[in-house]
Each structure stands twice: as C-alpha cells, then as structure tokens.
Amino acid sequence: MDYEIVIGLEIHSELDTKTKIFCGCSTAFGAEENTQTCPVCLGLPGVLPVLNKKVVEYAVKAGIATDCKIARYSKMDRKNYFYPDLPKAYQISQFDLPICEAGSVEIDLGEYKKTIGITRIHIEEDAGKLIHDAGSGTLADNNRCGVPLIEIVTEPDMRSAEEARTFAEKIKSILEYTEVSDCKMQEGSLRFDVNLSVMKKGAKEFGTRTEMKNLNSFRALERAIEYESKRQIFEIERGNRIIQETRKWDDDKAESFSLRSKEEAHDYRYFPDPDLVPVVLTEDYIDNVKRHLPKLPWVRKAEYMEKWNLSEYDANVLTASKDIAEFFEKTVEACNDAKSAANWIMGEISAVLNEKSLGINEVAFAPEDLGELINLINKNTISGNIAKKVLKEMFETGKAPMSIVEEKNLAQMNDVSELKNMVLDVMKANPQSVEDLKGGKEKAIGFLVGQIMKQTKGKANPGMVNKLIKENLEKF
Amino acid sequence: MDRISTIHEINELIENSEITYEEVTKKYLDRIDQVEGKVDSFVKVMQEEALESARKADAQREKPHSMIFGIPYGLKDNICSEGVETTCASKILKGFIPPYDATVSSKLKKSGAIVLGKTNMDEFAMGSSNENSSVKKTYNPWDITRVPGGSSGGSAACVAADQVVFSLGSDTGGSIRQPASFCGVVGLKPTYGLVSRYGLVAFASSLDQIGPITKDVRDCAIVLNHIAGHDEKDSTSVKKEKEDYTTYLSPKIKGMKIGIVKEYFGEGLNPEVKERLMEAIEVYKQLGAEFVDVSLPNSKYALSAYYIISSAEASSNLARYDGIRYGFRAEKFDDLLDLYKKTRSQGFGDEVKRRIMLGTYALSSGYYDAYYKKALQVRTLIKEDFDNAFKSCDVLLSPTCPTTAFKIGEKSEDPLEMYLSDIYTVPVNIAGIPAISVPCGFDDTGLPVGMQLTGKAFGEKDIIKAAYAFEQATDFHHKRAEL
C-alpha cells in the first residue's frame, strides 16, 4: 500500500535585533551566563514590557518577503505555563491576531515547482536556557529570555522530506536576505518543529499528526521526517492507531520518542497581554518597509539569468545565500565576466568552503581579488591551472592575486619566440610523439604540451604551445 | 505644631522658618511610635533613612525645590523602592528586595519627598479590609475595633492617624477610595494611564492605578502633580501634556453639572450613608451646581465582570511566584512540580488562592468565551454607560461605599459580602476613568462617610474642582481621629 506523507512546519527564528524584544538588553550570543539580563527580562515583580519597534519591522519584512498579508491591527497575548526557564511563567506571543497571515513561498525541486502556503507569522519572546550540571543540579541562564523570535507556521503542504528541506532552506535564505535573522543554526537562531501525518495515497482526510520539536539542522529535519513517517506507516500497517502527541527527536540515536500526548497537553490560557498596547500599522509604514526591503533571491535569480545569461541551475546556486550572491555580484563588478565568476565560486571556492566549513565571508580575500584573478586569466597573464594555485595562496594568505603571481613568478609565458624554441626542443626530443601526431593521433599533442608545461612549471600559455606545435609539425 | 498635617501647611511653616525638615520627620516618627501599636499601618518603618534624608533636606532648603520636598510619606508595600523589601504583604515575596525604583518612587525621590515606611495592605491588593495581609491586621484610627478598608488600608490609616503627611496607594477596584472613605481622608484613583504602573507589583494590569491618599484635596492635587505623566517604561501610560492640578482648586463651581447615578442610591445603601450624601447634594446646590439624573444600567454586572477580569489577569501576573528565583520557597519538595505546588500552597493566602483559581478557570479553554470574553463585552457596555452619562454632566456623585467601616472579622468569612463593599468603586476601574473619595460627614457612631466624585477620562480637573469646592464649604476634613 502506498502512503502519502503530509508535513507542516513551524519555524522559529531569532531576529537579528541588537536589543531584546521588551527591554534594552543585548541579544548577542555566547555571553557569560546571566550577564545580559535586567529586571524586565527577568520578569521581576512590578516591571513592564515595552515592545521593541525593530521587532515589528523585522516581522513585517519577513511577512512581505513571504507574500503575507500584513495585519493593520495585531496584538500581543500571554501564553501561560510554568517552567524554570520562563521567569514570568508566561511567554508573550501572539495568539489570534498575528502580525502576518496568508502568505506563500515557491520552492523549486528541479523536476517540479511547488507553492507552500504560509498560515501565519507571529512575534514572540524566547525563553532562557536550562543547564543541567551533575554537580550543582539544574541552573538557569536567562540571557536568552526576551530574545525576539518570529514563528512561521506553514500549511500542511509538503509531501516529502526533500520538500520540507527545500522549503526550510528557502526560508533560511529569505530571512538572511532580508536581514531579519542571521540564521546561525548552530546557535539556535533557526529551529524547526515538524507536524507530520501519513495517509493512504489518494485519501481525502489527513491522518492523525504528531509534532516533533526543536530540530536545529536541515539534516535533523530530513532524518526526523524520514524516521517519523516510517514509524507511522509501520504502526498503521500493524493495525495500530497513531496517537496525537509531541515527540522529541534524538539526533544522536536517530530516533524520536514521545514527550506528551494530547491529553497531557498544556492549556496555555492565552489572553491579551494587558501590559502592552495593540500593534497598529499604517499603510505608509508598511509601504516604507517594503521599499527598503533588500533584493530577494528570486528577483536576483531572474536578473542573473537575463542579464548574465546564467543557467537556471547556476542562478539558483548563486542566489541561495545572500552572502554568496553579494560576493558573486562584487566579483562580476570587478571582472565583468559572470560566467567565469560563477564557475570559480561554484567550483574551486565552494569546494574549499565545504571542506573547511567556512562561510564565504570568512575567506581571507575579497570578491574584488577573485575578480582580479579572473582578469589575470582573461588577459592571459596566468593560465587556469596557475590560477588555481594562486587561489590556494589567496585562501591561505589573503594576498592580492597579482602580488602572488609576481612574488612566485607565476606569470604565464606568452613570448612566442621563447616558447617556439622550447617547442622545437621538445618535438626533437620526442620523435615518436611527433610521428603519432602526424599520423593523425591527436592525443599525442597532449603529451607534447604536457612536457612543455612540466618544463615551465605550468606557466607556458597552453593555447600558444598547442598552436606552435601544429605550426611546426611539417618541419619534422 | 499639633495641628499641622498637610503639605501646604508644612511648606508655610518651613518658609517662615518655624520648623526644620528634620523636626517635621521627627514629629511624624514620634507619632508612629505613639500610635503604631494601635493602628498597625506599616509593615516596615524606615526611621534612620528618613532622618538622614530630612537632614539632607535641611542642608538644601535654600535651593529651589518642589512642594513635596522634605515631606514624609507612606508607600504601599506593592510599590517598589530600590533596596527596600517589597512583599505585597505576602509570605511568598518575603525577602524580595527590588533592585529598582517604581517610576512613582523615583519621581517622589527626585522631588525630595521622604518615605517613612511601607504600608500594610491586603495580600497582593486583594481585599477590602486589610484582613488578608499575611503580616498583620491594620486598625481603623477612628475605631480600632474596625477595619481601615482595603486594600490600601495601611496607606489610608497612616494618613488618618497623622503618621505621615500623605501616602501612595493602588486602586484596582476601589483600593484607594474605599479605605479613604473608611478612614475619613481623601483618596484619588487617576485615569488609567495617567500615572505609570512601572514598579507597581501587578494585580490586574488593565485595572491597577497608583494614586495619592491625602488629608485634603489641595494636597491631593499637589501629589498628583508629582506622580502623573507619561513613562516610556509603561506602554499603557498615556502621552499627554502635563497639567498643574492645583490650578483647579477654586471654590467656585457655579453651573457645574453633577450627575446622580440612580442605581447607586437604591438597595444595599446604608441609610445613614445615604443621608450624608443627600446633605452633600444640598451643599452643592448652595454652591450653584446643577443636578441631573443619570443611569448606569450595566453597572449591576460590574462586580461580576470585575472578578472575572481581575482574577484572570491576577492568575497570570502571580504565576511568576514559583519559588525558583526570589522570595519564599517551600523547604521540602520531591521534584519541580512538587516545588511549585508546595511553594504556592504555602506562600499564598486563601483569598489570593481563591482568585488565582477563579482566574485560571475563567481563562481555561472551553470556558474563555463564557467568562473572560463575556466579561470584556460587559466592560465595553459599562464604558458606554459612562460615556452616555457624561453627555449630560461633568462629574458623577455617589457614595464611595455602601457602608462605613465594618467590624474586624465581620465579613472575613464571607467573600461575596466583602466584595459588595466595592460595588460603587469597581465600575470606575472597569471604565478606566478617574474618581476621588472625599469625607462628607460621619455616621451616628462617629465613623467617616465618603463621597465619590467620578470624572470622564482625564477629567481629573473636574473632580478635583468639585471636591475642593465641597471641602471649602464644609469642615469634615479638619476632623481628626482620636487615638
């Protein structure tokens, strides 16, 4: 029996504001425990929250970028529950009137495209962190209390782990592009909850769903979906009922386990927070945010394809992250050769970034340096192979390509008379290859060129060498 | 010297160099020594700090300063003052020392007023008699077998007993006006949003408002001048141009239109209280005021709506007292849930628990629409009632409470009976409008009767004007409780 997997995501993203959502404390990650707190984010008796305007702006940005309707009137609500990482015993969130609703995002899966509905985006505060210490018991670090979040809730529109992953990656790129979040997943800036059910193919009604919380890598997201869908199908095949429950994914064990069932679920007793006033946005305000929104990935992609004739594949890869797109654009600006810039970034540079797990902004050289490197190739100052060596040096030292070429004397030999002498010498020394070549064995030219490159340590202009060999063939 | 007791009188004496600030503070501290054993207004008296502040005030007396400079006052124990234990008269907050000032505390500090102590109250401001304090009972200075009212009972009693010149209280459903009425002093609940709530330990955030309790209306206007105003730390505080409320202290109110709420003079009103109110109406007629009959038809639902809304908000506001970070924690517990349960069971008093349970229930899924949402709809109707009433008048006149101060223990066993004490004050909080209680006579046993004057939103000037004119035409505010 074939099954269909139905997936909806809830994505929590920490906003990249300097200060917290209701007080002036810093949101910087990694500070010493409880050093970024004040009476307000600690929820001490008598204090009051004041909504950070930047948080509203960032949420609106995210809403516009995901084609949502922006609410002219929304409000903050309290979600009540007891937990030691939540000093007020309620989280300030948005319940029935979120700031953004009814959006959509298109994802591209190569063979097909698909539109995923966004149910809503709302703003809320993050909770603190509990540190379980064998010696001193459980300690609370309240630095994260009050760090602003948006929660993006999707429709149950995804049907595979691949679709969910592609969507999640797209959201990450949108949030990075709009500078709403730094999306540093290892720091918890982007976290996923998965709602998943399975049903027999063609069925009209969804099955009972489970929720898996706090997946913080794309890999965990994919694996959790694969595991959970298999588990549900297995249960159904055995004639068991799926229990509506919250499950926790253990990435190390690669399995999920039940946290609590629906019956044990919290009643959060949401109600409007009387300490805060409604968020009322004017047409002008929304237009203004819209006008200042950075260029979105799909707009960039279309431009790349039209202006620079890049393939859709290349354009997709280059626009997947804002950092790469900007690096690419600056490179093109410096060399005016989009195709080469694309090839270098997607080829050699990506390989190094992957190998060293670096971001493109963490490399030692600037995009202008890459542009110069490409210029050196295009002006025949160096060959493509030498350029790879230069690039390697650039990664290591951050030096400008020209100075590397000069220092290491890597400039290409373009002197015809000098090369001609070398070519004649090599042809003399390898009569068999010359014979073969004359006899029509084109491959033999490669050997001869190789000999020249070896002698010149790769600096000879391979095109010229080729040409010289052919020109002088009849002399032998 | 015996007779001085208002801010304006002390200012005159200081100006004429007849007294020093230190002498003023000493006089009040001595008075506390004498009568505190009978009244029990304070949960904490700050003798040393107060004297030091008074000496500093004397050293700076030549510099230009405010009207409340060097004036001793009492601060309700739910208003934070940096470094001073603030418990809301609850066991659960025992030992909590706020590292910050409430906005009103810092404003008064800057103006140079001297806090003599934290005043007793019903635990978390829930109550109408001060019998719900976990610390002690406060006694009515006019008759120490009776309650001072509540929840700002300590704040009203300390003014009535001359232990301070003025005090600050908080009013969620009548908690300034009802004790002011029982203790024969002036108490104002400002418009919601006029005075910052920052640093006021929340009971019901959409209803709470800090206000002054004073000997007379002039002092009330002076203190209001010093605590009102927009505060960036309180999103619900209103941006509004500052007013000088003392400019409305005029005995002339000819032509002022006063509304008589017909629903407030019916069943449940003590006949003597009603009689004093009728006499007050005569006084106003003499002064040239015009009277109109108005109706607040939905006010009969006010008490029910109030107990839903305030308890719902309280259930959330008080959830943070869980024994994890500060205040009281149960000694023995098995696990986290047990820690929560034991701490909260042992730390909160009965009335507070009653309201937390009521509020939790009202917000629960499946009951929200029937209770909380319904209560909010009633709130809208009550606001509309007041809007309609103010179309034909400037202020509303009513009793503050249906009775004078009742006996200690008289109502403490019957919460519903106790709640009725706030029947005329609660609608004002629900509508977010201002009201003042001023003394308007005494019953046969010599207990003070209070009159409530209610204004439209930000209509403090109207009620201050009306109250002042009445006060000038009568001498109830000069009567002192014998202790």
Q: What is the pLDDT of residues B6-58, one digit of tens each?
A: 999 999 999 898 899 999 999 999 999 999 999 999 999 999 999 999 999 99
Share of chain B above pLDDT 90, in %: 89
- B192 Cα to chain A: minimum distance (Å): 12
Catalytic: which of B151, B155, B299, B315? B151
- Residue B428 is encoded by which pair of tokens? 């004002």
Backbone torsions φ then ψ of B311, nearest 5 degrees:
-70, -35
Give yes or no for a contact between A448 and A425, defined as CB atoms under 8 angstroms apart.
Answer: no
Q: Give the pLDDT score at A378.
A: 87
Q: CB under 8 Å to A32, separation ≥6 — which residues?
A: none
pLDDT in tens, B328-347: 999 999 999 999 999 999 99
How far, rounded to the nearest angstrom, does the alpha carbon of residue A10 sit from its chain's CA centroid?
Answer: 17
β-pair partners for A132: A138
Q: For residue B342, give the nearest of B363, B357, B321, B313 by alpha carbon.
A: B321
Structure tokens given for A474: 């009849």
Cα-based distances in Å from A343 to A8, A348, B295: 36, 8, 81
Q: Report, as an integer, the average pLDDT of A365-374.
A: 89
**Residue A90 is nearest to which of B99, B319, B325, comparing CB atoms?**
B319
pLDDT in tens, B379-429: 999 999 999 999 999 999 999 999 999 999 988 778 777 788 889 999 999
C-alpha–C-alpha distance, residues B179 and B141, integer Å:
11
Share of chain B above pLDDT 70, in %: 99
Query: Residue B320 and residue A87: Cβ atoms within 8 Å?
Result: yes
Q: Kindly report the nearest CA distance between residue B91 and chain A, in angstroms.
A: 14
- The per-residue pLDDT for B124 is 97
The alpha carbon of residue A89 is apart from the nearest alpha carbon of chain B, in Å, by 5
Percent pLDDT > 90 in chain A is: 43
Determine what percent of chain A is predicted with pLDDT higher than 70: 99
Contacts of A273 in chain B (CB under 8 A): 205
- What is the per-residue pLDDT across A281-325, written as a single tens digit (0 to 9) for each? 999 999 999 998 888 888 888 899 998 888 888 898 898 888 899
Q: B462: which 2 tokens?
A: 């109207």
Task: Spell out which residues of chain A touch residue B102, defining contact as CB-CB under 8 Å.
Answer: 46
**Whether residue B76 lies in the annotated active site:** yes
pLDDT band, very low/low/confident/very high, at A373 (cuts 50, 70, 90): confident
| B86 in reach of chain A (CB within 8 A) | yes
Task: Report CB contact under 8 Å: B365, A269.
Answer: yes
For residues A423 and A462, give the distance between their C-alpha atoms in angstroms, rounded to a whole number.
11
Pick from A91, A81, A90, A130: nearest CA to A260: A81
Quickly state the pLDDT bin for B1 (edges 50, 70, 90): very low
Q: Which of B128, B157, B162, B145 is nearest to B43 (CA)?
A: B157
Residue B219 and residue B166 in contact, taking contact as beta carbons nearer than 8 Å? yes
For A416-475, CATH number? 1.10.10.410
ipTM reported for the complex, 2 dp: 0.93
Place of tokens 């700076």: B60
Task: Tell whether the model's pLDDT for residue A20 goes beyond 90.
Answer: yes
Contacts of B63 (CB under 8 A, 6+ apart): none
Tell me the C-alpha distance between B339 and A219, whole Å.
38
- Angstrom distance (rounded) from CA A408 to CA A387: 12
Closest residue on chain B to A91 (Cα) = B316
Biggest alpha carbon–alpha carbon distance for chain A? 98
Given the residues B175, B237, B299, B421, select the one marked as catalytic. B175
Tell me which residue in B98, B100, B205 faces A275 most closely, judged by beta carbons: B205
B322, A90: Cβ pair inside 8 Å? no
Q: Residues A384, A425: contact at Cβ < 8 Å?
A: no
Q: What is the pLDDT of residue A329?
A: 92
**Nearest of A324, A346, A335 to residue A368 by alpha carbon:** A335
What ranges do the domains of chain A cover? 3-285, 295-407, 416-475
> Which string of DSSP letters, residue by residue, matches B371-390?
IIIHHHHHHHHHHHHHHHHT
Q: Which of B200, B206, B325 sits opposite A46 (nearest CB)?
A: B200
The pLDDT of residue A180 is above 80: yes
pLDDT above 90 for B325: yes
All domains of chain B in start order, with CATH: 7-249+457-478 (3.90.1300.10)
Strand partners, B186: B214
Query: What confidence category does residue B134 fall into, taking pLDDT thresholds of 50, 70 and 90?
Result: very high
Whole-angstrom Cα distance, residue A26 to residue A63? 25
* Contact check, Cβ <8 Å, A271/B324: no
Rounded average pLDDT over B152-165: 96
Q: What DSSP state is assigned to residue B228?
A: B
